[in-house]
Amino acid sequence: MSLVTSTTSELLGQLASRSVSAVEVTQSYLDAIQRRDGQVGALLSVTADSALAQAAEVDRRRAAGEAVGALAGLPIVLKDNICTQGIKTTCASKMLKDFVPPYDAHVATRLKQADAILLGKANLDEFAMGSSSENSALGKTVNPWSFEHAAGGSSGGSAAAVSAGFAPLALGSDTGGSIRQPASFCGVVGLKPTYGRVSRFGLVAYASSLDQIGPFARDVSGAALLLDAISGHDRRDSTSVDAPPTLTAATVEQPLSGLRVGIAREHFVAGLDPEVEAAVRRAVEVYKSLGATIVDISLPHSKYAIAVYYLIACSEASSNLARYDGVHYGHRATEFSNLVEMYKASRSEGFGDEVKRRIMLGAYALSAGYYDAYYLKALKVRRLIRQDFDAAFQNVDVIASPVNPTPAFKLGEMTADPLKMYLADIYTISANLAGLPGISIPAGMSASGLPIGLQLLAAPFEEEKLLRAARMFEREHGPAPMSWKSGV
C-alpha cells in the first residue's frame, strides 16, 4: 500500500516502528501534491522546505529515543483562515492576500506540540462564506472525484486534499456546515466539534457565535486523534470551555450498546435527492442490524434554520469584517482623495461579491429600526431550535440525517443563484445554531460516481459517543475510498 493511501493509524504504526521515516512520509505527500494539485487546486501554499526540516527533526528525535508527540510525523494542511506564524494566511481574499500573521492560532501551536508536519494552507470560499469553494479570490478547487464538480465549501481545499491523498489530515472551520458538507462531497470524514470545544484563537472570524475548528481525516479514528490533539481549554478564546482535551481516540473502537438513533421527519422532505435518501436509509438499516433502536423524532423549528442562520451569520460577519479598512488590516487602495474614500475604495477592491452581499445583509439586519424585527427575532428562534434538540436528545443518543440534499453539484451550477446555494445548507446549519457536535462520514456513492455522506449529530460535548457511533457504521461500511486508486 502506498503511503498516501494509508490511514492515520497505519501511518502512525509504521512511523513508530521506524519502518518508514517522517521524511519519507512527508516527501510522498509532497510528491502527490506536486503531481496532482495542478488539477485539483486544493492548496494555496505549500511549505515543502519547512515540512521536510520539521520531519527530519522528528526522525532525529525518534532515533535518539526522545519523546515525540501524538501526531509525530503526520502531515497536515490547514484551511487558510487559520493563522500560521510567518506563513501567509489569506482567507482566499484579495483583502488579505499578503497577510503574514505574526503569531500561530492555538490549533497550530497544538499541532506543533504534537509534532504534526505542516504541509501547507488549503483553499476556501473567501472568509469561509460559501458552500463550493468557488468564492475564492485566489484559485479554484475542484472535486478530486470529478473535476467538473464542486469540492464543497467552505473548507473545500482541506476536504479535497485529504480525498486526493495530499495529506492524511486537515483542519477546517465550520460555521454552518463548512467541514461536514465538503467532507461529504469529497468522500472523507469531517467533524465539527461542540461550540467551545476547540479554541478559535487565531481563526479569522466569520460569525463568532457559530464558528468552530475541526478535523478532516480518511477515517473516524483519524478524526478522533486530531480532535484530541487540538481540543481543550485556551484562555485566549473566552468561549473555549474549561475542560481538558478530549480522549476520544482511546475509546473510538468500542461499539455502543443500546444505541438510540433518532430520525427527524423534517429531514426527509421534498428537495432531497433519492440517492442521498437511500444512502441514509441504508445506514439506518446498518445501525438496526447492529442492535440500535431507531427512534422517530421531530425538530419542528428546523424549517426556520436557514433564515435564522443567514441573519445571524451575516450580522456577525458585518461586525467582524469591519476591521478590514486598509488601516488596521488588509488591502489599501492607492487611489483616493480623503480618508472615507480610502476606506470605501479599499473595501470595494478587497472584498468579493459574496462577502459584500453578506456585509450588506448583516448591516441591514442590525440597523436601527430593523434590529428587533430581524436580528433579535432570529436569536429567539435560535433558542427554539436548540430546545428542539434538547428535547430530542432526551430520547436518542445521535441523530442520523443527510449532510447535503444532493451529492456534489457541478461547478458554476449554483453561483448564479446565491439563495439556492444557501438553501442547500438545510441539514448542517442547525448544529451550529444549537452548538452541537456533528460528523459527516462516507456512506455510499451515487450512480454517477460521487460520494454521499451520512451526518450524525450528538448532544453538546458528546464527541466521544458521536465518534464511537460513527465508527460502528464505518466498520460495517468500510473506510473512505481514495479518489485516485492508483498513480498517487
Among 95, 129, 279, 299, binds ligand GLN (CB under 6 A): 129
Q: From the candidates 136, 154, 184, 401, which is the catalytic residue? A: 154
- The smaller minimum CB distance to ligand GLN, of residues 165 and 405, is found at 405
Q: Least separation, in Å, of the C-beta of 145 and ligand GLN?
A: 20
What does R_g of the chain's alpha carbons equal in angstroms? 21
Q: What cell numbers appear for 229 in the block?
A: 490533539
130 binds ligand GLN (CB under 6 A): yes
In terms of Cα–Cα distance, which of 175, 124, 133 is closest to 152?
133
Q: What cell numbers appear for 7 in the block?
A: 490511514
Catalytic residue list contains 178: yes
- The smaller minimum CB distance to ligand GLN, of residues 108 and 361, is found at 361
Q: Which stretch binds ligand GLN (CB under 6 A): 22-30, 125-133, 233-241, 261-269?
A: 125-133
Q: Quick one: how far is CA 243 from the chain centroid?
A: 22
H/E stretch holding 145? none
Tell me the backbone φ, ψ of residue 259, rounded to 5 degrees. Answer: -65, 135
Among 101, 156, 168, 177, binds ligand GLN (CB under 6 A): 177
d(CA 263, CA 346): 48
248 binds ligand GLN (CB under 6 A): no
Length of the chain: 488
d(CA 265, CA 149): 30
For residue 486, the 8-state DSSP code is S
313 binds ligand GLN (CB under 6 A): yes
Site residues for ligand GLN, 203-222, by CB under 6 A, read 206
**What type of residue sits at position 459?**
A
Q: From the candidates 178, 199, 221, 318, which is the catalytic residue? A: 178
The site map against ligand GLN for 340-379 (x = CB under 6 A) is: ----------------------------------------
Binding residues for ligand GLN, how many (CB under 6 A)?
13
d(CA 119, CA 107): 15
d(CA 262, CA 302): 15
Q: Least separation, in Å, of the C-beta of 351 and ligand GLN?
A: 15
The site map against ligand GLN for 46-85 (x = CB under 6 A) is: ----------------------------------------
Q: Least separation, in Å, of the C-beta of 172 and ligand GLN?
A: 8
Q: Output the 3-class SS for 223-238.
A: HHHHHHHHECCCCCCC
Among 128, 183, 186, 224, binds ligand GLN (CB under 6 A): 128
Strands (E), 80-229: 117-122, 142-143, 146-150, 169-173, 189-192, 213-217
Q: Which stretch binds ligand GLN (CB under 6 A): 99-107, 123-131, 252-260, 334-342?
A: 123-131
In terms of Cα–Cα distance, which of 137, 175, 176, 184 is closest to 156?
184
158 binds ligand GLN (CB under 6 A): no
For residue 292, the 8-state DSSP code is P
Measured from the Cβ of residue 411, the count of other Cβ atoms closer than 10 Å reads 20
Among 178, 221, 246, 302, binds ligand GLN (CB under 6 A): 178
Q: Which stretch binds ligand GLN (CB under 6 A): 176-184, 256-264, 327-335, 375-383?
A: 176-184
Please answer whether residues 189 and 439 qualify as being in contact, where contact means their C-beta atoms are separated by less than 8 angstroms.
yes
Among 154, 194, 401, 440, binds ligand GLN (CB under 6 A): 154
131 binds ligand GLN (CB under 6 A): yes
Burial class, 258, CB count within 10 angstroms (exposed 0-12 / middle 13-18 / buried 19+):
exposed
Strands (E), 316-437: 398-402
- The smaller minimum CB distance to ligand GLN, of residues 129 and 434, is found at 129
425 binds ligand GLN (CB under 6 A): yes
For residue 480, the 8-state DSSP code is P
d(CA 144, CA 159): 9
Strands (E), 61-111: 75-79
Catalytic residue list contains 21: no
H/E stretch holding 67? none
Among 157, 176, 442, 453, binds ligand GLN (CB under 6 A): 176
Q: What cell numbers appear for 104 in the block?
A: 500561530
Q: Least separation, in Å, of the C-beta of 88 and ligand GLN?
A: 20
Q: Which stretch binds ligand GLN (CB under 6 A): 174-182, 229-237, 244-252, 269-277?
A: 174-182
318 binds ligand GLN (CB under 6 A): no
Catalytic residue list contains 79: yes
Q: From the candidates 6, 21, 45, 79, which is the catalytic residue? A: 79
437 binds ligand GLN (CB under 6 A): no
152 binds ligand GLN (CB under 6 A): no
Residue nearest ligand GLN by beta-carbon distance: 178
Residues serving a catalytic function are 79, 154, 178
Residues that bind ligand GLN (CB under 6 A): 128-131, 154, 174-178, 206, 313, 425
